[in-house]
Structure 1
């Protein structure tokens, strides 16, 4: 299998499925693929998916991540962004690489940690997945108990909130309850394409500041 992996090339936007992969083989494959790679992996009950994202996928991932960071900065909330870090739990026989993920409520618990183990550490508070050519693997996120999962697909943001071990679709984010993000984030992503990333982020930051100011004045 190692020889095949070294020779494996997954074109952008394509995916490869490997069946009957043991946990030990999954761990070996992760080491063989290395940390500095474009491909994302998902593992569940012996099925391994390897996917290489398209430029559209990466652009949306970066822009949505930057919007989330602006929100957290303006709200003065400490956070830790771990990108596409591999999160896995051998006892559950599942592993996933997000497009990005954030520790927010649990940031103090993992602050300064270089290694995380989901058998003892909490999962990220928010995970982000961009669906252009791949599927989200919601069942893996449910099993790992990620409280909030955002999916961006076909220009729309879907906010999924974990309740009783299952995701339900929500019109707002419990992390950012005062912000209509489901509507606004796609609008600012589209704005990135027309006026550029920097101008869009400045406009978004101003919008967040205005909304915070209005909420404070109502108290």
Structure 2
């Protein structure tokens, strides 16, 4: 079961701005990325959310990323890191910066997998933004719980799934067992040992 993660600081709520044009959104991206890289900008059909990044947020998203990367190395998955590069689709009026993202097999314009950590609630519907961008798999941490959601392209909706479609054999519950930033080195080593031992029994 996932370790209960205690906030080290009180998360600062984001700011919501309405009636923001696409051009204004792109301009704010340019300005804020240079002057304040500690902010996330999420855009959905004229509504802009500006979110600060807390230490809790950064620790969790980085540890999820490291666990996925270790899994890819141990299982021989061709993983390409895309980081938090801004994803944008002007025709769908959607844009955001994933906490982490990856392409599988080869680099693509839109990553196959994204990691999204939500510490504060009540903002924009980020699933709707990811859906409009066409990100196929989303690892989402919210309310002390990690879930995997996969995009059903026929319905164009996200559906909860027990296991990753891109990290074959890996479930959210397995990753959750090792998701404890306060013991990061020990957890990463334990996860690697678990993978090596389970590989020997395949």
Common fold by TM > 0.5: yes
> 1 CA distance for matches of 2:119 and 2:157?
23
> 2 CA distance for matches of 1:127 and 1:13?
23
The 8 Å contact of residues 42 and 97 in structure 1, kept in 2 or not, is answered as yes
Structure 1 runs, 4 residues or longer, greater than 4 Å off: none
> 1 CA distance for matches of 2:71 and 2:98?
20
Q: Which secondary structure state, in structure 2, belongs to the residue aligned with residue 20 of structure 1?
A: coil
* Equivalent runs, 1:12-23 vs 2, <5 Å: 13-23=12-22
The 8 Å contact of residues 23 and 90 in structure 1, kept in 2 or not, is answered as yes
Higher relative contact order structure (alpha carbons within 8 Å, sequence separation ≥ 6): 2
- How big is the shift at 1:12? 5.0
* Equivalent runs, 1:193-204 vs 2, <5 Å: 193=182, 196-204=183-191
TM-aligned CA distance change 1:157 to 1:12, over 3 Å = closer
Correspondent of 1:151 among 136, 140, 163: 140
Partner of 2:31: 32
The 8 Å contact of residues 127 and 150 in structure 1, kept in 2 or not, is answered as yes
- How big is the shift at 1:109? 3.8
TM-score normalised per structure 2: 0.86
Q: Can you give the 5+ residue segments of structure 1 that lack an aligned partner in the other structure?
A: 1-10, 111-120
- How big is the shift at 1:187? 1.8
Instruction: Name which one, 1 or 2, has greater alpha-carbon Rg.
Output: 1
Bigger helix share: 1
RMSD across aligned positions (CA): 1.7
The 8 Å contact of residues 39 and 53 in structure 2, kept in 1 or not, is answered as yes
- How big is the shift at 1:51? 0.2
Partner of 1:78: 78
TM-score normalised per structure 1: 0.80
